[in-house]
Amino acid sequence: GMWEEAGVPGENPRRHRENMIKPYDFDYLKIIGKGSFGKVLLARHKESTTYYAVKVLQKKIIMKKKEQKHIMAERSVLMKNIKHPFLVGLHYSFQTTDKLYFVLDYVNGGELFYHLQRERIFLEPRARFYASEIASALGYLHSLHIVYRDLKPENILLDSQGHIVLTDFGLCKEGLEANGTTNTFCGTPEYLAPEVLQKQAYDRTVDWWCLGSVLYEMLYGLPPFYSRNTAEMYNNILHKSPVLKPNVSNAGRDLLEGLLQKDRTRRLGVKDDFLELKYHSFFSPINWEDLMAKKITPPFIPSVTGPTDLQHFDPEFTHLPVTSSLCTDTLTVTSSIREAAGAFPGFSYGPPADHSFM
């Protein structure tokens, strides 16, 4: 079929354009998220009828914010994710004159924290299961020399089976990087490590701090330094010890203390990264091989009836109309559009020839 010809970029420079995947190969069904550069849609591939999340970005806005490098970096991270069970996978990327398209795994069990809000706290075995899947994904990224840096509730999804999927596609995150001094941290700084808040150099241990914040919230019901007053919360992150009430096991409290260590040179993970977490007593009930093989039954299975069941998405998005502008290229090609057209060389990607799309 048409997928065989769509090889890896650079493999066959004269590959015919008509074999490449295009916007109108999909039916666009619903908006499932919006960000500063574009939106994410639930789409069905017409030929294979498979469902995907398609992220559509406006080149002009990316250029205006000088984010081309970041977008290309995001794409290369995604291309490496294909091999990890708890990271969102990229199937295709392609571009038109004025837009970039990412075709991603569609994950519809809802944000982890949507479920936490409904249940207030998770018991330790459930929190441990999620923390271990997240930790293994972060460890994998670190092994590729990628610092995730933005682990926060919106980026942690559940799939329909109840497994974690980390998506670097937190929908409001694009272009609002913690190191961009313009926006005072997109919303609240609850999950930011002290070194990020202070705009200091940071390393991969920033991810273990964030995992500590997320685990703390799962076990205690609020982020560790939470205050409704942002300045106070900021101060807590920099100067206050986390309160570790004894409704959590000693091992759990010890792990949180190690992860929420303000001095990154003393933080758990600084020496051996993921291995320091893997062998911590809190995780001793976890068989890591079974975990990676998805042989551990998830403690909770989201009630989704099928791919079109959007109950775990924010209706603020899903009620928006899907415009037809997705497939039509702007007819009036202005100079800024012409400039944007060639600004993303090598963006397009199709799976290797032996990869069947079905």
Per-residue pLDDT tens listing for the chain (358 residues): 333 333 344 444 444 444 678 888 999 988 877 766 788 888 999 999 999 989 888 888 878 777 777 777 667 666 665 578 999 888 888 888 888 888 888 888 988 988 999 999 999 999 999 999 999 999 988 887 778 877 887 789 999 999 999 986 433 333 333 333 333 344 568 898 999 888 888 889 999 999 999 999 999 999 999 998 989 999 999 999 999 999 999 999 999 999 999 999 999 999 999 999 999 999 999 999 999 999 999 999 998 877 778 777 767 666 777 765 555 444 455 666 666 667 777 777 666 544 434 3
Tell me, yes or no, if 150 is annotated catalytic.
yes
Which class does domain 2-107+306-341 fall in?
A: alpha beta
Binding site residues, as ranges?
64
Indicate the annotated binding residues for ATP: 64
- The length of the chain in residues reads 358
pLDDT value at position 256? 98
Domain ranges of the chain: 2-107+306-341, 112-292
- Are 208 and 267 within 8 A, CB to CB? yes
The CA-atom distances, in angstroms, between 169 and each of 91, 178, 193, 231, 272 are 14, 15, 20, 27, 28
Rounded Cα distance between 192 and 185, Å, is: 9
* Dist. CA 184–CA 6, nearest whole Å: 42
Torsion of CA 56, 57, 59, 60, to 10 degrees: 120
Q: Are 328 and 51 in contact (CB under 8 A)?
A: no
Q: Given this model, what pLDDT does residue 326 score?
A: 56
pLDDT of amino acid 91: 83
**Among residues 105, 150, 168, 273, which one is catalytic?**
150
Q: How far apart are CA 110 and CA 166, in angstroms?
A: 12
Question: Which of helix, strand or coil describes residue 352?
Answer: coil
**349 φ/ψ angles, rounded to the nearest 5 degrees:** -150, 135
What are the DSSP E strand ranges found in the chain?
Answer: 26-34, 38-45, 51-58, 90-95, 99-104, 156-158, 164-166
Tell whether domain 112-292 is in CATH 3.40.50.280.
no
Residues 147, 204 contacting (CB under 8 angstroms) = yes
